[in-house]
Chains A and B, each alone.
Chain A
């Protein structure tokens, strides 16, 4: 479709002084933005910078408090996602809204007006997926698809509306490097057709690679508009963060000690129909090492964490060893008492209870390991709140946790500050073994670099650290050894220096490839 009515150079979509207040908090504050026809425009910013709020206003999910949106030069009010689609705006959300038990075609049909036959939807979806290099089987059940394939459904769903502007929210955060490459080819094709793409990301490298222009947000304001190819990653980061981000220092040498954490042929059956089963997972982490486990989300990372932490013990005691003692069948408390510490992926409702104070959340993880310090009254188990408060204060100071008030509810802290507290809560014990799942997921750059530094320092002091992460930048910053998890299987561990991104990508994706014929036989 051609871009009727928009002469070359004049913007497809323009945003003038757009503001969104939540109470007195300005999530977006006087934002100006132009998106020209046929360009890939990056929206850069840290978590909480206002990117999501801005695109929600563009897609009609939120109503602006002030300011105007111009579509092809004419002011429009976008009251609902339906209105946005009618204008010609399509959106691919970061979190997919798909029914796992339904097929691809059924999921697509759900977003269309009623009355279109499923066969036509399937046909159209197949045509589009072929035309844009997004291979997709309309009859496949979503539950059987990888995250990358699920994202393609969302993209095809958006393309069915024939949009002029496609908004993609952090599309590569769930993809392997190879899958991301494929997505970039699709984006280039869309651009070639004269469509525009608004590409939201905090990954500077890809933005530099595929985007024509970039708008940078910080604290709800535009802090820069530039051509990302003219910038350096450092200058872009400065616009995003407002200051230079400390690089993780890997100076000094790690002395390799004894094996402190080990898994031997760990098998875990899937607990739910949509969980991943672990197959023959073996790993060893020596004191002084950081073993990072790379992998695309949903390949068994959560299940591995559950089995290693003892939240869901396994029947075979020898499957997990902490400091050479079999703990596979023991619970998380017993493992903590052997000197292990744990940081789960989900902050709210797993690592912390949001409505409870920080000091209560300290008791959450350490009531038994620090029984003597925190509990009194013998069997009564009276919590010594003075001691707990002191420890919480010590942790907040050590990790630079910024908070409102002395002992606020955990839920009132920003993601980065809460994560610093949760990591600090374990570091404060000097654990011999630390197991962390997604240490800096959704955390701002400053907090992320502090947390990574703390992990590196802990290993250097002789502890064994296991980091499960999807972020390759993070993995290369902290790891001494790297293994890759895919479909519940763990690869061998390689020294971090011996690996490249491409090799890791092959390990992630190579195993995907092997699985396909296997699965076909199973049907």
Chain B
């Protein structure tokens, strides 16, 4: 028996909707097998991973806190990916946004004003955007591959943050621990619910997603993004500039990643430390694709990926498995999402030898 892919005459609308769900089911099955191989009961492990966090107010808040940066970054990345600009460096833009936003509460810690917080947020966005401007400049002017340049800039940002908190910005009051001073209360993003820690960052994420969805769905800018993503030549015919689109998409996604960075630091960590992200910038790539590059889908995907973080922590505690379980789940999910997308354009056929079946399946001309 042989498995063949046969091109569909046109993309299947059904599988465009179904494919993320099929991917989810396959991920859960593969995860269950993984737990079984680790010698854990798959059913109860999956229960603690995926279900238990949903039954508890505290962990629901944790999910919202972790979903906020994933959604913010994922929405920005969706604009990049739709326009065929492959920004892989959101993690670095997230960190640089956090550092730029922290200038106000760390360097000017004696300045108290209601302007502190808005200024931090603006600085955060500028920091992320400027950091994304590097691969944008390189691609627009020197045709440098943005996948490589943006990815490599992540490591620079991580080491820069490490150096900042150990060197110039180390808190004089922290007994030589590599952290900055704690942010003053007016530099902290307010919580939005009385029941838990969810902060304003979640609202930013939802607002950003809705705005970008509106832009993509109804405006000429959104149209320009899709056209240039599908065919640069047709975009040129329409009078759109792919160079300007490189700048637009990278600056927008950099700004949103930077906003996510400063919101995470301000609302959740309340200071800078050597590591401020469990890989949100990379996980957001999965979020963007799981959400079908649609901002509303990204909200759902961001919540689900946040669940894998919280669930991963939960099984660490209850089953004493490694914290790498979360990364494995996220990796499996991206793998299955991308492979299930094949179903949108192709049919799977099982071919049994002995039956006369054409050897070369090619489309009619």
Contact surface of A with B, Cβ cutoff 8 Å:
20, 22-23, 25, 27, 52-53, 56, 61-65, 79-80, 309, 311, 331-333, 336, 342, 344, 346, 349-353, 355-356, 360, 363-365, 367-368, 375, 377, 380-383, 409, 411-412
From residue 235 to 267 of chain B, which have CB atoms closer than 8 A to chain A? 236-239
B220 and A375: CB pair below 8 A? yes
A75 CB, min distance to chain B CBs, angstroms: 14
| A interface footprint on B55-87 (CB within 8 Å = 1, 0 otherwise) | 000000000000000000000000000000000
Contact surface of B with A, Cβ cutoff 8 Å:
9-11, 218-221, 223, 226-227, 230-231, 233-234, 236-239, 357-360, 362-365
B296 CB, min distance to chain A CBs, angstroms: 18
A332 to B362, CA, bound (A): 38
A381 and B221: CB pair below 8 A? yes
B364 and A342: CB pair below 8 A? no
14 sample A-B contacts, Cβ–Cβ < 8 Å, listed by A number: A23-B9, A52-B365, A64-B358, A79-B359, A80-B360, A333-B239, A342-B237, A350-B237, A353-B226, A364-B227, A365-B238, A381-B220, A381-B221, A382-B220
Which chain B residues lie closer than 8 Å to A80 at the CB level?
359-360
B359 and A63: CB pair below 8 A? yes
A365 to B236, CA, bound (A): 10
B238 and A355: CB pair below 8 A? no
B223 and A383: CB pair below 8 A? yes
Q: Which of B221, B237, B365 contacts A364 (CB 8 A)?
A: B237
Which chain B residues lie closer than 8 Å to A61 at the CB level?
360, 362
A336 and B223: CB pair below 8 A? no
Which chain A residues lie closer than 8 Å to B359 at the CB level?
63, 79-80
A64 to B357, CA, bound (A): 9
B365 and A53: CB pair below 8 A? yes
A350 and B233: CB pair below 8 A? yes
Which chain B residues lie closer than 8 Å to A382 at the CB level?
218-220
B222 CB, min distance to chain A CBs, angstroms: 9
B220 and A412: CB pair below 8 A? no
Q: Given that A380-B219, A382-B218 are contacting pairs, would A412 and B10 also be in contact in the complex, using a CB cutoff of 8 Å?
A: yes
B219 and A383: CB pair below 8 A? yes
A243 to B135, CA, bound (A): 59
A422 CB, min distance to chain B CBs, angstroms: 10
B238 and A367: CB pair below 8 A? yes
A447 CB, min distance to chain B CBs, angstroms: 17
Across the A-B interface, give the 8 residue pairs with the lowest CB-CB distance, nearest first.
A63-B358, A333-B239, A381-B220, A349-B231, A22-B364, A27-B364, A364-B238, A52-B365
Which chain B residues lie closer than 8 Å to A309 at the CB level?
237
A350 and B231: CB pair below 8 A? yes
Which chain B residues lie closer than 8 Å to A353 at the CB level?
226-227, 230-231, 234
Q: Nearest chain-B residue to A66 (Cβ)? A: B356
Which chain A residues lie closer than 8 Å to B231 at the CB level?
349-350, 353
Which chain B residues lie closer than 8 Å to A412 at the CB level?
10
B223 and A360: CB pair below 8 A? yes
- Other than the given A333-B239, A349-B230, A350-B234, 7 more pairs (CB < 8 A) read A25-B9, A53-B364, A342-B237, A353-B226, A353-B227, A353-B231, A367-B220
A9 to B233, CA, bound (A): 53
B359 CB, min distance to chain A CBs, angstroms: 6
B358 and A336: CB pair below 8 A? no
B216 CB, min distance to chain A CBs, angstroms: 11
Which of B227, B357, B363 has the most A CB atoms < 10 Å from its CB?
B227
A352 to B237, CA, bound (A): 9
B57 CB, min distance to chain A CBs, angstroms: 39
Which chain A residues lie closer than 8 Å to B219 at the CB level?
377, 380-383
Q: Nearest chain-A residue to B221 (Cβ)? A: A381
A22 to B7, CA, bound (A): 10
Q: Nearest chain-A residue to B226 (Cβ)? A: A356
Which chain A residues lie closer than 8 Å to B360 at the CB level?
61-63, 80
A349 and B234: CB pair below 8 A? yes
A25 and B226: CB pair below 8 A? no
A377 to B220, CA, bound (A): 11
B236 and A311: CB pair below 8 A? yes
Q: Nearest chain-B residue to A410 (Cβ)? A: B234
Q: Given that A62-B358, A62-B362, A63-B358 are contacting pairs, would A363 and B223 also be in contact in the complex, using a CB cutoff of 8 Å?
A: yes
B364 and A364: CB pair below 8 A? no
A317 CB, min distance to chain B CBs, angstroms: 18
Which chain B residues lie closer than 8 Å to A332 at the CB level?
236-239
A331 and B239: CB pair below 8 A? yes
Q: Nearest chain-B residue to A22 (Cβ)? A: B364
Which chain B residues lie closer than 8 Å to A25 at the CB level?
9, 364
B220 and A383: CB pair below 8 A? yes
Q: Which of B9, B230, B239 contacts A336 (CB 8 A)?
A: B239
A168 CB, min distance to chain B CBs, angstroms: 16
A63 to B363, CA, bound (A): 12
A523 to B363, CA, bound (A): 44
Which of B9, B10, B220, B360 has the most A CB atoms < 10 Å from its CB?
B220
B353 CB, min distance to chain A CBs, angstroms: 14
Q: Which of B10, B236, B364 contacts A409 (CB 8 A)?
A: B10
Which chain B residues lie closer than 8 Å to A364 at the CB level?
227, 234, 237-238
B237 and A368: CB pair below 8 A? no
Q: Given that A52-B365, A63-B360 are contacting pairs, would A383 and B218 also be in contact in the complex, using a CB cutoff of 8 Å?
A: yes
A20 CB, min distance to chain B CBs, angstroms: 8
Which chain B residues lie closer than 8 Å to A79 at the CB level?
359
B153 CB, min distance to chain A CBs, angstroms: 31
Q: Given that A61-B360, A63-B358, A356-B227 are contacting pairs, would A344 and B237 also be in contact in the complex, using a CB cutoff of 8 Å?
A: yes
Which chain A residues lie closer than 8 Å to B358 at the CB level?
62-65
Which chain B residues lie closer than 8 Å to A356 at the CB level?
226-227, 230
B239 and A368: CB pair below 8 A? yes
Which chain A residues lie closer than 8 Å to B223 at the CB level?
360, 363, 367, 383
B277 CB, min distance to chain A CBs, angstroms: 33
A45 CB, min distance to chain B CBs, angstroms: 12
A350 to B237, CA, bound (A): 7
B130 CB, min distance to chain A CBs, angstroms: 25
A284 to B359, CA, bound (A): 55
A352 to B236, CA, bound (A): 11
A167 CB, min distance to chain B CBs, angstroms: 15
Which chain B residues lie closer than 8 Å to A342 at the CB level?
237
Which chain B residues lie closer than 8 Å to A411 at the CB level?
10
